[in-house]
């Protein structure tokens, strides 16, 4: 690309739009090669810090306690096709009772994949008020999500740069074609008639 720019610099057929397009492509390639990885790294780093804070808060606020099964309703698999449902497991809607961290008894419904019997116990996660919640995020999950955020930011930055380059090249082409039309209007009537304008 740089060799091409250097070769074109003294060529009388090289228009200003050609030089601008070549410089634009060079800068876009440099920004994609250097800027996109930096943008991805910065986004991943920021996301990792935020997600680690969230994971730490969740691990501090949520407790794993034992709940007692009161009632079980067996539901069919989500995929009800007979061919594919043969190996699928039933879902169990379990009404359970547990004592929250504050000492109050709570009742709620949980979906389980493995079979349970009334009176058996299984682990659930609750918040500080004893309400059911999801498992707290782990540091490993935070790392995985931050990596995905970095990749998404890098892809967005690369797409934005390439999209901007293409739009600018299209504008340069329009300007080039408009100038060609102006030149054609000026010299078109004399096309092919040597010396007709003299």
Supply the DSSP string of 114-130, one letter for each residue. S---TT-EEEEEE-TTS
The values of phi and psi at residue 65, to 5°, are: -130, 170
Give the chain's radius of gyration (CA, Å). 33
Q: How confident is the model at residue 67 (pLDDT cuts 50, 70, 90)?
A: very high
Buried b (16+ CB within 10 A) or exposed e, 85-115: eeeeeeebebebebebeeeeebeeebeeeee
- Measure the CA–CA gap between 64 and 124, rounded to whole angstroms: 6
Q: Report if pTM > 0.85.
A: no
- Measure the CA–CA gap between 110 and 121, rounded to whole angstroms: 12
Nearest to 41 by CA among 146, 142, 139, 144: 146
pLDDT tens figures, 144-182: 999 999 999 999 999 999 999 999 889 888 888 888 888
| 112, two tokens | 């389980």
| Range with the poorest average pLDDT among 64-68, 135-139, 148-152, 173-177 | 173-177
pLDDT tens figures, 79-92: 655 554 455 567 88
């Amino acid at each position: 690309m740089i060799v091409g720019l250097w070769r074109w610099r003294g060529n009388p057929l090289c228009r200003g739009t050609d030089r601008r397009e070549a410089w634009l492509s060079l800068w876009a390639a440099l920004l994609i090669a250097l800027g996109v990885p930096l943008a991805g790294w910065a986004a991943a780093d920021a996301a990792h810090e935020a997600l680690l804070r969230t994971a730490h808060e969740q691990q501090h606020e949520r407790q794993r306690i034992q709940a007692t099964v009161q009632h079980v309703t067996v539901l069919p698999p989500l995929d009800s096709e007979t061919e594919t449902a043969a190996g699928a497991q039933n879902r169990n809607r379990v009404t359970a009772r547990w004592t929250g961290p504050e000492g109050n008894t709570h009742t709620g419904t949980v979906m389980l994949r493995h079979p349970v019997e009334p009176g058996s116990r299984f682990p659930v996660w609750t918040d500080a008020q004893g309400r059911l919640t999801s498992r707290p995020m782990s540091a490993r999950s935070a790392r995985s999500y931050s990596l995905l955020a970095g990749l998404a930011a890098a892809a967005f930055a690369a797409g934005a740069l390439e999209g901007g380059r293409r739009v600018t090249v299209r504008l340069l082409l329009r300007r080039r074609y408009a100038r060609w039309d102006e030149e054609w209007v000026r010299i078109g009537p004399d096309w092919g008639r040597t010396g007709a304008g003299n």
